[in-house]
């Protein structure tokens, strides 16, 4: 993983890295960190002082992998522990390509604007703001279309609207930025998006691509003109399911920087680096030499650019969250799976939930769901769709299983929990089948159910109305029911954003969160029995005040 970093002056800096598993890092060809180890990622596990040269610097990181998660993080601080505000990051070798056009990393976002699945092809042509889309000039905090324009800043080129919208599906989100140019200029707008995009510049529509599909940076390039002074950029991105967001930048035709541009909202300095030039993975079954082997040839001194050949494959651009950067997701390209593949591999797995369309079509010869249980040593049960569709909202299925209920009963409870059904849910869920013995259960020594809060709006601990996640104004009580089949419950712990805030040793296992908090938080509840076994429940909620 490689990144070119421009520093306007020579200076000392602190390099902080985290990895799953081992890591080796070079700065300008010098090996500055080596940690040949196996364990989970934690931010800033490894750190050292380095020297940044005046001009361009190369940071190369090599991360080993021995199964499970494959994650990494990197950031640079000054010697006082403050993020640098004057560094520039780019992927391609600047000695060959010069300066690249900067991605716009900060926008005002408005959304999510919910619609129905059947209206997908009308999302981009439907006005959800209640005012003329092309003429808007919003400010932070302004309400349009029942949503507030909110500042969103990213450490990488991808503007993750799904993260801002709590992963909502079927609708759109808007993004707005002001682009200031010192002089009138002709250039190109380079964009990537998932799913479709509609873009206005100074009220003129410059892009309309009503599509369904995944994100690729810079996949669409449009000739545009920027006027001297302020320019209004409005981006509207449609969303079916899955990832939701976009990237955008103004460039010359060859991807170079356009001089004299600035943006409002102004981007915050990059903390954790979220864009890397990547090559691999290189297979090495020897754990003792996995990190020490040089797979590139003089690896510390390589100077590749995007698309350059490597001993294996090519150097590719990876865009993701910097905290952590998920290497495993980047290389998980997937492929076709056939029934013979399952028989050849004979996975040591008992229960399968196939998140795919059609593997449960049992009237087909060699259907996939059957191969898992009829032609393997271990397979007992497969849950699959016999047509287009799959299971969503997995918690409604897995939570009853964790409470000791049978697979069949848990499947019924999941199906009931989705009701009342919208038309798209009927089209998607009908045809789900369970193959195998539905009376089988998964052994669970501890059973725990979070009974409060529900997916609803609470005002000072009082439930007001249903909502798609827990949303609390003021204090909120978190309640759980915990039992153990063989041993007593020793304690239940309550965490907010991985910080332990309460330990409850006896029933009732509940805790009232009274401290001030704003925005989205992760709530984690851990139950312990007297033998030391644990069970964890996590959920996302939003709290104000």
Structure tokens that stand for 315 in this block: 């150097």
Residue 363's pLDDT is what? 86
The band of 9, judged by pLDDT with boundaries at 50, 70 and 90, is: very high
pLDDT tens, residue by residue, 406-449: 999 999 999 999 998 888 888 899 999 999 999 998 877 888 88
Is residue 335 scored above 70 in pLDDT?
Answer: no
The band of 59, judged by pLDDT with boundaries at 50, 70 and 90, is: very high
Work out whether strand 456-459 and strand 471-473 pair parallel, antiparallel, or are unpaired: parallel
Residue 518's pLDDT is what? 85
Q: Supply the angle between the helices 407-418 and 395-402 in degrees, to the nearest 10.
A: 140
Segment (H or E) for 537: strand 534-544
Whole-angstrom Cα distance, residue 532 to residue 488? 10
φ, ψ dihedrals at 259, nearest 5°: -70, 150
Work out whether strand 204-209 and strand 197-201 pair parallel, antiparallel, or are unpaired: antiparallel
Residue 399's pLDDT is what? 82
CA distances (Å), origin 314, targets 94, 217, 308, 365, 470 = 18, 17, 5, 39, 45
Is residue 403 scored above 80 in pLDDT?
Answer: no
pLDDT tens, residue by residue, 151-185: 999 988 999 999 888 889 999 999 999 999 999 99
What domains are defined for the chain? 2-87+272-331 (no CATH), 106-264 (2.60.120), 339-436 (no CATH), 446-544 (2.60.40.10)
pTM: 0.65
Find how far residue 295's CA is from the centre of its chain: 29
- Which are the contacts of 247, defined by CB distance < 8 A and separation ≥ 6? 103, 157, 158, 159, 191, 192, 193, 215, 217, 218, 319
Whole-angstrom Cα distance, residue 143 to residue 129? 9
Angle at 164 between CA 480 and CA 429, to 5 degrees: 65
The band of 318, judged by pLDDT with boundaries at 50, 70 and 90, is: very high
Please report how many Cα atoms fall inside a 13 Å half-sphere around the Cα of residue 354, on the Cβ side. Answer: 30
Q: What percent of the chain has pLDDT over 70?
A: 99
Residue 164's pLDDT is what? 86
Answer whether 528's CB lies under 8 Å from 500's CB: no
Residue 334's pLDDT is what? 64
**Coil, helix or strand for 95?**
helix
The band of 333, judged by pLDDT with boundaries at 50, 70 and 90, is: low
pLDDT tens, residue by residue, 244-279: 999 999 999 999 999 999 999 999 999 999 999 999
Whole-angstrom Cα distance, residue 403 to residue 280? 42
């Amino acid at each position: 993983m490689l990144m070119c970093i421009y520093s306007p002056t020579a200076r000392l800096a602190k390099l902080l890295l985290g990895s799953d598993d081992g890591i080796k890092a070079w700065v300008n060809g010098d090996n500055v960190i080596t940690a040949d180890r196996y364990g989970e990622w934690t931010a800033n596990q490894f750190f050292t002082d380095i020297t940044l040269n005046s001009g361009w610097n190369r940071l190369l990181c090599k991360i080993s992998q021995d199964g499970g998660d494959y994650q990494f993080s990197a950031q640079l601080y000054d010697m006082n522990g403050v993020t640098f505000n004057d560094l520039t990051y780019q992927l391609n070798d600047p000695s060959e390509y010069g300066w690249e056009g900067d991605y716009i990393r900060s926008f005002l976002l408005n959304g999510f604007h919910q619609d129905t699945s059947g209206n997908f092809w009308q999302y981009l042509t439907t006005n959800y703001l209640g005012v003329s889309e092309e003429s808007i000039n919003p400010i932070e905090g302004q309400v349009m279309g029942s949503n507030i324009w909110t500042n969103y800043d990213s450490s990488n080129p991808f503007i993750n609207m799904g993260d801002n919208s709590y992963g909502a599906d079927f609708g759109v989100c808007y993004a707005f930025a002001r682009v200031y140019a010192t002089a009138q200029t002709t250039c190109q707008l380079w964009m990537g998006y998932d799913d479709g995009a509609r873009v206005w510049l100074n009220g003129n529509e410059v892009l309309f691509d009503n599509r369904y599909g995944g994100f690729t940076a810079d996949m669409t390039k449009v000739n545009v003109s920027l006027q001297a002074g302020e320019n209004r950029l409005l981006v509207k991105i449609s969303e079916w399911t899955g990832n939701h967001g976009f990237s955008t930048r103004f460039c010359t035709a060859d991807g170079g920087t356009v001089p004299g541009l600035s943006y409002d909202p102004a981007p915050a300095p990059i903390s954790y680096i979220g864009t890397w030039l990547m090559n691999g993975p290189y297979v090495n079954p020897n754990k003792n030499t996995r990190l020490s082997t040089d797979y590139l040839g003089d690896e510390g001194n390589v100077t590749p650019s995007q698309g350059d050949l490597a001993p294996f494959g090519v150097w590719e651009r990876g865009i993701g969250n910097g905290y952590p950067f998920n290497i495993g997701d980047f290389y998980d390209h997937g492929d076709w799976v056939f029934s013979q593949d399952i028989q050849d591999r004979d996975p040591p797995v008992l229960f399968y939930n196939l998140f795919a369309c059609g593997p449960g079509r049992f009237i087909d010869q060699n259907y996939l769901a059957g191969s898992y249980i009829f032609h393997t040593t271990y397979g007992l049960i497969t849950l699959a769709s016999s047509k287009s569709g799959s299971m969503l909202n997995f918690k409604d299925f897995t939570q009853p299983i964790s409470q000791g209920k049978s697979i069949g009963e848990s499947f019924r409870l999941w199906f009931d929990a989705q009701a009342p059904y919208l038309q798209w849910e009927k089209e998607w869920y009908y045809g789900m089948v369970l193959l195998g013995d539905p009376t089988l259960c998964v052994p669970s020594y501890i059973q725990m159910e979070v009974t409060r809060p529900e997916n609803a709006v609470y005002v000072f601990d009082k439930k007001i109305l249903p909502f798609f996640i827990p949303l609390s104004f003021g204090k909120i009580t978190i309640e759980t029911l915990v039992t153990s089949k063989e041993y007593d419950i020793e304690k239940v712990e309550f965490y907010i954003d991985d910080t332990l805030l309460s330990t409850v040793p006896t029933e009732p296992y509940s805790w009232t969160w009274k401290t001030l908090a704003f925005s989205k938080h992760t709530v984690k509840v851990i139950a312990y029995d007297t033998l030391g076994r644990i069970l964890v429940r996590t959920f996302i909620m939003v709290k104000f005040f």
